[in-house]
A and B are shown apart, each in its own frame.
Chain A
Amino acid sequence: MAQRTPEQDLGFGPAAVLQAMKSSVKLLRWGLLLLAVIYLASGVTVVGPNETAFVLRFGKLEPGLHGSGLLLALPQPIDEVVKVPTRSVQEIQLDAWESPASAANSGPLPPVGMSDTLDPVQDGYTLTGDANIIRARFSVRYQVADPIAYALTVKNQPVLLEAILYQAATDVIAQMKVDDVLAAGLEVLRARTLRTAQAQLDQLGMGVQLLAFEVHEIIPARQVLPAFEDVVSARVESRTLIEQANSYRASELPGAQADAYRIKQEADAYAQDLVAKATGEAAAFEAIDQQYRMAPELMRTRLYADAMEIVLRNLQSTTIFHPSSGGLKLLLQPSYSPQLLPTPQTTRERE
């Protein structure tokens, strides 16, 4: 483009064409030189901060690994630089045991009867030790430990890695009870799967170091999910019942203890009251008795008369008769129950 613009200005005369050719040959020469330099420098490679590189010279492995920085290698047909991301942690999601049918879990359920089977090709699942069907979602994090082994042993590393993890998980789950897999044994599942898979990788010499195997979700098949949920709710119900009973205990026992305390206190108070009263009355008696001893007859008369005053004032009626009239028969009749003793004789005699 930069050459054409002056040509158009000069027109198409033969002198102009000659001049243009001359200048373009000159340019071409410089261009060739530039290309040669670029080619010679093409072996120089930047190894990224997370990478490790090694060199194949005429296809043969050159000893030594190169960390991040500038790597001075020879141009292409001689040297081939292979870069492997050794420092970055890579992650693979393992979703094959959670097929689209299961992903539609949250949506409306397919018609009953149609859905009561699982297609072994489409639906991902495996069997537990007690032959229960479970589905799961995992992920694995790994790092390249040996870049040469990683690059030169396996063609499609992530695919094989994935298969090996499924293999390890299958093996481990086939030895566990479904309840262990779903709950308490999750840690066991993770640790054993990681160990089994790492052993397998080492045996194949893949040069991969597994860092973590995570279980994101592990559930029984959708078809039996309500049954499993019912067990969970039964557990909750059972725990609630026990909690209620415990709180009944917690509320009833202090009440009973308070009642017991009150009963004891009342008894104590009663006893103390009795004793105090007795002590007081005894003291009073002794005081009066002292006076009485000084003049017994006088005191007796006074006390008797005082008592009579009170007694006789309260009475409804008083009948006084002479003992010498003799032969008196006295029958008392309670005033409000005449039907009990309706003898006219009594009435007459009272009159």
Chain B
Amino acid sequence: MKTQIIVRGLIGALVGALMLFVMLTFQVRQNERVVLTRFGKPVRVLVEPGLYGKWPWPIETVNRFDARLDFYDARISEALTRDKRNVIVPVYVAWRIDDPLKFLQSLGSAENARSKLDGLVTSARNTVLGGYDFNQLVSTNRDEVKIPEIERTITDLVAQQGKQSFGIAVEQVGIKRLTLPEANTQFVFERMRAERAQFAAQYRAEGQQQADEVRARTDADKTVILADARKYAEETRGKGEAEAARIYRTAHEKDPSFYKFLRELDALKQITATNTTVVLDTETPPFDLLRPALKGE
């Protein structure tokens, strides 16, 4: 029975200690900032993580803030560049609570912070963009584009105001896209179409030109090849004829009169064909054999 009482007492003491522990202490997590308020009046700001003591609930209240970077997408609105071009530049903000006391006093919640940030960012963006030309936002010349610089300038501007007024540290304002007012897109499309049409025409013309060049060159080459061949052929024929003539001459020189006789006979055979009428005198052999008969007539 006695041990039972001791055990019960121990359990009771343990439970009591636990309750006291819960009521009188609180933790600050590694990523948190805490403002301890006593009846609404801030008494301590806790930045370092760890275990802390406090008066129980109705007396002291723990106001916790997540000090991690938070993300906020600013609302879209039009802005004007220095060269009076309308642009819509959606930006996001990466911010965190830096001074929890100031934050608690000026804003109180992350919801309020967002609407305040929106105003800050929008006005800073419009101010900064007014100092840059459109072709410092987009340009084919890499050195001309100043987007990182613009982002930095906006960030600095917003960070300064956020820190002073709201205890917010703005670490990054980033440009998420570059867009134009809806009415302007139509003109951009028209320009793009015209540009493309020009490119298409250029490609077609270039292709035609190159093709024509190749064809012309082919025809020229063909002519040259054939002309070369004909030249060779003429030369070869000439040489052949000359050679043949030389051979004939060498042979015929040995007996020109006999050659003449043979050649004439040959020619005679060639030129007299059927349907030829020949008139001969009786001296012509072999008709001279007929002479006595003719005389007798």
* Chain B 16-32: CB-based contact to A (< 8 A → 1; otherwise 0): 00000110000111111
Complex: how many Å from CA A177 to CA B259?
Answer: 90
Determine whether B275 belongs to the interface, using a CB cutoff of 8 Å to chain A.
yes
Determine whether B132 belongs to the interface, using a CB cutoff of 8 Å to chain A.
no
Residues in B with CB closer than 8 Å to A97 are 177
**B229 contacts A259, C-beta separation under 8 Å:** yes
Contact of B277 among A156, A167, A316 (CB under 8 A): A316
Contact of B269 among A153, A268, A285, A310 (CB under 8 A): A310
**A133 contacts B294, C-beta separation under 8 Å:** no
**A260 contacts B269, C-beta separation under 8 Å:** no
> A58-B50, A152-B30 known; A175 and B142 CB under 8 Å?
yes
Residues in A with CB closer than 8 Å to B196 are 224, 227-228, 230-231
Complex: how many Å from CA A186 to CA B195?
Answer: 21
Determine whether B82 belongs to the interface, using a CB cutoff of 8 Å to chain A.
no
Complex: how many Å from CA A175 to CA B245?
Answer: 82
Among residues 96 to 114 in chain B, which have CB atoms less than 8 Å away from a CB atom of chain A?
none
> A133-B189, A177-B140, A227-B192 known; A155 and B69 CB under 8 Å?
yes
Residues in B with CB closer than 8 Å to A259 are 225-226, 229
**A311 contacts B272, C-beta separation under 8 Å:** yes
Which of the listed residues B22, B69, B92 has the most CB atoms from chain A within 10 Å of its own CB? Answer: B69
**B262 contacts A223, C-beta separation under 8 Å:** no
* Chain A 259-290: CB-based contact to B (< 8 A → 1; otherwise 0): 11101101110111111011101110110110
Determine whether A26 belongs to the interface, using a CB cutoff of 8 Å to chain B.
no
Determine whether B43 belongs to the interface, using a CB cutoff of 8 Å to chain A.
no
Determine whether A38 belongs to the interface, using a CB cutoff of 8 Å to chain B.
no
Chain B minimum-CB-distance residue to A151: B31
Contact of B189 among A166, A221, A255, A314 (CB under 8 A): A221
Determine whether A238 belongs to the interface, using a CB cutoff of 8 Å to chain B.
yes
Among residues 197 to 251 in chain B, which have CB atoms less than 8 Å away from a CB atom of chain A?
197, 199-201, 203-204, 206-208, 210-215, 217-219, 221-222, 225-226, 228-230, 232-234, 236-237, 239-241, 243-245, 247-248, 250-251
Residues in A with CB closer than 8 Å to B287 are 320
Determine whether A65 belongs to the interface, using a CB cutoff of 8 Å to chain B.
no
Interface size on A, residues (CB 8 A): 121
**A311 contacts B277, C-beta separation under 8 Å:** no
**A274 contacts B240, C-beta separation under 8 Å:** yes
Determine whether B280 belongs to the interface, using a CB cutoff of 8 Å to chain A.
yes
Nearest CB of chain A from residue B138's CB, rounded to whole Å: 4
Determine whether A2 belongs to the interface, using a CB cutoff of 8 Å to chain B.
no
Complex: how many Å from CA A171 to CA B30?
Answer: 35
Residues in A with CB closer than 8 Å to B165 are none
**B49 contacts A59, C-beta separation under 8 Å:** yes
Contact of B68 among A155, A221, A303 (CB under 8 A): A155
Nearest CB of chain A from residue B220's CB, rounded to whole Å: 11
**B233 contacts A264, C-beta separation under 8 Å:** yes
Contact of B221 among A130, A256, A303, A310 (CB under 8 A): A256
> A155-B70, A256-B222 known; A238 and B208 CB under 8 Å?
yes
Complex: how many Å from CA A236 to CA B252?
Answer: 72
Complex: how many Å from CA A319 to CA B290?
Answer: 13
Determine whether B3 belongs to the interface, using a CB cutoff of 8 Å to chain A.
no
Among residues 307 to 330 in chain A, which have CB atoms less than 8 Å away from a CB atom of chain B?
307-308, 310-312, 314-323, 330
**A59 contacts B29, C-beta separation under 8 Å:** yes
Residues in A with CB closer than 8 Å to B226 are 256, 259-260, 263
Chain A minimum-CB-distance residue to B205: A238
Contact of A282 among B188, B248, B262, B284 (CB under 8 A): B248
Among residues 166 to 203 in chain B, which have CB atoms less than 8 Å away from a CB atom of chain A?
171-172, 174-183, 185-186, 188-189, 191-193, 195-197, 199-201, 203
Chain B minimum-CB-distance residue to A235: B203
Determine whether A242 belongs to the interface, using a CB cutoff of 8 Å to chain B.
yes
**B30 contacts A314, C-beta separation under 8 Å:** no
* Chain B 245-283: CB-based contact to A (< 8 A → 1; otherwise 0): 101101110110011011001001100111111111111
Determine whether A249 belongs to the interface, using a CB cutoff of 8 Å to chain B.
yes
Contact of A315 among B66, B88, B219, B274 (CB under 8 A): B274
**B29 contacts A166, C-beta separation under 8 Å:** no
Complex: how many Å from CA A46 to CA B218?
Answer: 78
**B252 contacts A285, C-beta separation under 8 Å:** yes
Among residues 52 to 91 in chain B, which have CB atoms less than 8 Å away from a CB atom of chain A?
66, 68-71, 73, 76, 88, 90
**B278 contacts A319, C-beta separation under 8 Å:** yes
Chain B minimum-CB-distance residue to A32: B11
Name which of A16-24, A118-126, A138-146, A340-348 contacts chain B: A118-126
Which residues of A are at the interface with B, using a C-beta cutoff of 8 A? 56, 58-61, 77, 80, 97, 116-121, 124-133, 151-156, 159-160, 163-164, 166-167, 170-171, 174-177, 200, 203-204, 220-221, 223-224, 227-228, 230-231, 233-235, 237-242, 244-246, 248-249, 252-253, 255-257, 259-261, 263-264, 266-268, 270-275, 277-279, 281-283, 285-286, 288-289, 292-293, 296, 300, 303-305, 307-308, 310-312, 314-323, 330, 332, 335
The 8 closest A-B pairs by CB, nearest first: A238-B207, A271-B240, A267-B233, A260-B229, A282-B251, A278-B244, A227-B196, A245-B214
| 18 additional A-B residue pairs with CB within 8 Å, beyond A133-B188, A174-B178, A260-B225 | A56-B29, A120-B179, A152-B31, A154-B69, A164-B174, A174-B138, A200-B174, A204-B69, A245-B213, A264-B233, A270-B237, A286-B251, A314-B273, A316-B276, A320-B282, A321-B281, A330-B279, A332-B279
10 A-B contact pairs sorted by A residue (CB < 8 Å): A60-B51, A170-B176, A204-B94, A239-B207, A242-B210, A242-B214, A260-B225, A285-B259, A314-B273, A318-B280
